[in-house]
Amino acid sequence: MPSMPLNYEEIVTVARSESVAAVTFDMRKFPNAQDEAIETFLQNTAMGAQMGVLTHTKPIVIVCDSKAAISPRAAQLLAALQAIGVSIGVQRYDS
């Protein structure tokens, strides 16, 4: 049976943490769906930015392991967010 696609609320609930310096989304918490989690998160974040409801005042850090693939669509979304001034980036770690 195929797994249900991840939704934004699930990603935020499971992967989000906040420090004084940044808001981190640790996609390693979805070991078999990091690629999907990254793309879903970026898509929703970009939509929020377009609608003017993105309220992050700290840098956003997306954490994934070195095997996670950043799809072309996710790369476009990441670049678009950075182009409009959202401080967002991906950090990869060896698993």
Strand partners for 25: 16, 62
pLDDT at 1: 35
Q: Residue 4: its pLDDT value, please? A: 60
Residue 1 inside a domain? The answer is: no
Read off the pLDDT of each residue in 27-53 and give the average, rounded to a whole number: 93
pLDDT in tens, 42-76: 999 999 988 888 777 899 999 999 999 999 999 99
Distance CA 45, CA 8 (A): 9
Residue 50 lies in a domain: yes
Q: What is the CB neighbour count within 10 angstroms for residue 9?
A: 9
Count of domains for the chain: 1
- Residue type present at position 37: A
How far is 76 from 80, CA to CA, in rounded Å?
Answer: 6
Q: What per-residue confidence (pLDDT) applies to 95?
A: 63
Token readout for 3 is 């797994």
Q: Do 64 and 31 form a contact (C-beta atoms < 8 A)?
A: no
Which structural domain range is residue 19 located in? 8-93
Q: What is the pTM of this model?
A: 0.90
Q: Is residue 37 part of a domain?
A: yes
3 is a domain residue: no
